[in-house]
Amino acid sequence: MKSIKFIALLFLSFNSIVAQELISYDATIEKAEEYFESEEYAKASESYKKAFKIVYENVVTSDVRFDAALAFSLSNDKKSAYKQLSKISNKGLFDAYTNYDNIVNEEGFESLRSEKKWKRLVQKIKIKEGIAKSKINAQLIESLKELLIKDQKVREEFTETLQKYGDQSDEFKKYGIKVNEVDSLNFIEFEVIIEKHGWPGPEVIGEEGVNTLFMLVQHNNNVDIQKKYLPLIKKAVDDGKEYPTDLALLEDRIAMYSNEMQTYGTQIKSDENRILYVWPIKNPEDVNRRRLRIGLDPLETYLKRFGIVWNLDKHKERTINSISRMKK
């Protein structure tokens, strides 16, 4: 949850209406949890309802929906409790099955257990859980783990070479070539997987497997290849087999490589003085709204990891200069 200090910084950075929208989801969920802990279930229920109206459906995780369903059940709002439990059972393929044992054993759902609707719901979740387990492809998971190890190992060694010899050294330049070689070989295996399996979701290869697949696309610096797989990844997001946040990263990277403005502010470059900056963003005033909607943290928080302080006015000024250079 966001600290009071962080909330204050947000208010200083944006007009009050936008800032309130940005912080309100986390703040409202936090309030709901406080009410729940103090056994004020009706107030907790109202806070959950307010929070769910703020963000897109895919931002709300199943554990939050589970807690909300508990609050609704304990405040005797059975309709809302069933609604959240139903969303858990239908929520794509990342975590739709993880709460089955918790649901059937949770004492807070006691008031629902005697109803036929409850029995149908838990039966549906149990069946889905069984189907999901039967789809796991252990061999493919192992293959993706090997690709992940190769990818991470060469990048760790690349970083060590940079730290030891510097970015102007022959050693560093040679290792850059090695990274490209490993990426190329990994991508050949990636294309074999895609040709055979399509884009397998986490019910087939687990979340780490999905992350590895996406990483292989991200690490291929050929923008034409990234564009080739963009429609496939978009469909995977629509089907609940890929994260919207990953899609945002890829769309932003393609935009940067194509000398176009990015949408979510995920891409960072360094200038001629080796100072990091954010690649130009479309409508930067609204970037945090767009980030929030798909589950990304505010841009200020993201940029702190790179030691960058977000300044909207300076970004606009740099964007004007960047566009001038792009047109030349």
**Per-residue model confidence as pLDDT tens digits over 227-277:** 999 999 999 998 888 888 899 999 999 999 999 999 999 999 988 888 899
pTM to 2 decimal places:
0.68
Beta bridge partners, 270, equal 276
Match 């930067």 to its residue by tokens: 284
Instruction: Give residue 90's pLDDT.
Output: 72
**Per-residue model confidence as pLDDT tens digits over 119-169:** 998 888 888 777 767 778 989 999 999 999 999 999 999 999 989 999 889
Among candidate residues 188, 195, 250, the one with its CA nearest the CA of residue 218: 250
**Contact between 264 and 243 (Cβ < 8 Å):** no
In terms of C-beta density within 10 A (0-12 exposed, 13-18 middle, 19 or more buried), how is residue 89 classed?
buried
Q: Domain limits of the chain?
A: 4-135, 136-242, 265-328
- Please state which architecture CATH assigns to domain 4-135: Alpha Horseshoe (1.25)
**Contact between 126 and 119 (Cβ < 8 Å):** no
